[in-house]
Amino acid sequence: MDSGVATGPLAALTHTLLLAGVIAAAGVLGGLANFVIYSRNLRLEASAPKVVGSLSRWDSILLGVAAAAVVPLFITLIDLDANGIVNSVYSASSAGALAEVLVLLFSYCTLAAIFSRNFLFSLYSRVLQSAEDAANVAATRRAEEVVENAEKEEEDRFALDQIFEANAGTGELADVPSLQDVLTADLTAAQTALLRLIRNYPNANVPEDHLKLASKLPTDEFRATLDTLRVLGMISSSQRGELGESRTWRLRSRGRMWMLSQR
């Protein structure tokens, strides 16, 4: 049974011409309607004669066709399925289904053409806003990726430092706390004071004897405080000479991040 829909090699070309014809016809009709509406409105004003004389039907028709041509873009921006409408033209199984889609598209295009000036300016604003939103989303994703990579690198460096310190010391590897656990850690006043002393020291590496003198903590509490901060990965130590001599401490990125999170 003949469905009345073109088939064969020229089917796609036929449908494309139908789409173009519908858009052009709607643009012309809407453009003429736009000219009539705005002309009548202007004639109601006292200064209308000079303005009406400068109006052109061809200007209105051109704007109408342009507005009709970008209707698929507008439908996409308002979250409707523009591709579905266009694809329905090519995949219509009968002449009736094809006519139904073309009438719907003609209605959209005619309405856009009637209000072509406002429609085009509004669409332009929407396109700019969509571009800005897309750029912001892309920038946010890039920033998140940078942070994630930095956190991953910090985790890797911390794990390597733990292994190094285990090999250089007792040989026992302490459990590595997660970065989230570190950032939410509830430090004591002594621990916080030591972090600030290390951060504010003129050099990156703080000699342990200078740090102990500035902290004014008893030896046992000083050692325990340093060990807790080291296990959390907020500080790390370096050895020079014999074990226990000339040790220095430096602030790690975890310590900086924790201090920033407390502001």
Q: What is the pLDDT of residue 205?
A: 81
> For position 171, what pLDDT does the model report?
43
3-class SS at 248? Answer: strand
Rounded Cα–Cα distance for residues 39 and 53 (Å): 9
Query: 171 φ, ψ to 5°?
Result: 90, 0
Mean pLDDT of the chain: 75
Model confidence at 206, pLDDT cuts 50, 70, 90, reads confident
Mean pLDDT of 176-189: 73
pLDDT digits (tens, 9 = 90+) for 132-148: 888 888 887 887 777 66
Q: Which fold has domain 177-261?
A: Arc Repressor Mutant, subunit A (1.10.10)
Domain with CATH 1.10.10.10 in the chain: 177-261
Stretch 24-30: mean pLDDT, rounded?
90
pLDDT, mean of residues 76-99: 71
Mean pLDDT over residues 192-218, rounded? Answer: 85
The confidence score (pLDDT) of residue 15 equals: 78
Q: Which helix (H) or strand (E) holds 237?
A: strand 235-238
> What's the confidence (pLDDT) of residue 48?
47
Q: How confident is the model at residue 84 (pLDDT cuts 50, 70, 90)?
A: low
What is the per-residue DSSP string for 50-114?
A: HHHHH--HHHHHHHHHHHHHTHHHHHHHTT--HHHHHHHHHH-SSHHHHHHHHHHHHHHHHHHHH
> Which pLDDT value is given to residue 17?
86
Percentage of the chain lying above the pLDDT 70 cut:
71
Query: What is the predicted pLDDT for the residue at 208?
Result: 86
Maximum alpha-carbon separation in the chain:
101
pLDDT of residue 83: 58
Confidence of residue 168 (pLDDT cuts 50, 70, 90): very low
